[in-house]
């Protein structure tokens, strides 16, 4: 039984269907991805801690909540992760950003790292790792391994589409990491693409098809 949280909302369903359509151009695909990242970000950040601070409105002094603690860190798994990360950064402009560059080896599909840059004090932050597609789980697991090596403890993974195989692999390797997804698709095909999916998310975002 999976603990993945499926954020199911009519607006997300509608936008996702347009994104899946192969005739949707990159500019619209990017805009929809950004909008969905706002909708998902609202839910994913629900448990962020706040602290009461004293402020003065034009009318009176008052004590109201603000986000507390170290700034959260959004970790983008390159390159498609940037599509989600940029929207989330609009929502939480004070967040720090980490980048994990991974590509899939064409022979055995394992994740090969080519770039890794993250902020300090990850152990004191809420770490949100983003990649639109959770397919085999290889990239996500490799990124999570590296982020944990760098000190992260409180980690959540957010994707747009997940294959059941990817959810299973991630939950097995990282049972402490909560998964949020906007949809759970049927399966992977022989090339490890999500079915029905939306194709290669990086290509759809950047028009490199």
By CB under 6 A, tell whether 193 contacts ligand URA. Answer: yes
Q: In the set 91, 116, 200, 206, which binds ligand URA (CB under 6 A)?
A: 200
User: CB of residue 120 vs ligand URA: minimum separation in angstroms?
Assistant: 30
CB of 61 vs ligand URA, minimal distance in Å: 51
On whether the CB atoms of residues 140 and 181 are closer than 8 A, the answer is no
Is 72 a binding residue for ligand URA by CB under 6 A? The answer is no
Alpha-carbon span 174 to 41, nearest angstrom: 21
125 burial class (0-12, 13-18, 19+ CB within 10 angstroms)?
A: buried
- The β-bridge partners of 195 are 187
Q: For residue 133, state whether it binds ligand URA (rule: CB under 6 A).
A: yes
Which of 4, 122, 194, 205 contacts ligand URA by CB under 6 A?
194
* Binding of ligand URA by 113 (CB under 6 A): no
* Interaction between residue 160 and ligand URA (CB under 6 A): no
Contacts 24+ apart (CB under 8 A), 177-180: 177/129, 177/144, 178/3, 178/5, 179/2, 179/3, 179/4, 179/5, 179/134, 180/4, 180/5, 180/7, 180/40, 180/43, 180/44, 180/156
Q: Tell me if residue 32 falls in helix, strand or coil.
A: helix
Nearer to ligand URA, 12 or 201 (CB): 201
Q: How far is the CB of 1 from ligand URA (least distance, A)?
A: 24
Which part of the chain contacts ligand URA (CB under 6 A), choosing from 95-103, 144-152, 170-178, 196-204?
196-204
Site of interaction with ligand URA (CB under 6 A): 80, 133, 135, 193-194, 197, 200-202
């Amino acid at each position: 039984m999976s603990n993945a949280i499926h954020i199911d909302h009519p607006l997300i369903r509608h936008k996702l269907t347009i994104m899946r359509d192969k005739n949707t151009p990159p500019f619209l695909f990017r805009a929809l991805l950004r909008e969905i990242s706002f909708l998902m970000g609202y839910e994913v950040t629900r448990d962020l801690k706040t602290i009461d601070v004293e402020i003065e409105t034009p009318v009176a002094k008052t004590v109201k909540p603000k986000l507390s603690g170290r700034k959260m860190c959004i970790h983008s798994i390159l390159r498609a992760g940037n599509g989600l990360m940029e929207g989330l950064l609009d929502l939480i402009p004070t967040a720090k950003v980490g980048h994990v560059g991974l590509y899939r080896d064409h022979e055995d599909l394992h994740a090969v790292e080519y770039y890794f840059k993250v902020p300090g004090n990850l152990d004191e932050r809420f770490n949100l790792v983003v990649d639109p597609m959770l397919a085999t789980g290889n990239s996500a697991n490799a990124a999570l391994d590296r982020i944990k090596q760098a000190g992260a403890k409180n980690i959540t993974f957010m994707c747009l589409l997940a294959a059941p195989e990817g959810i299973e692999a991630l939950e097995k390797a990282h049972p402490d990491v909560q998964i949020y997804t906007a949809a759970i698709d049927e399966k992977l095909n022989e090339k490890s693409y999500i079915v029905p999916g939306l194709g290669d998310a990086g290509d759809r975002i950047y028009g490199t098809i």
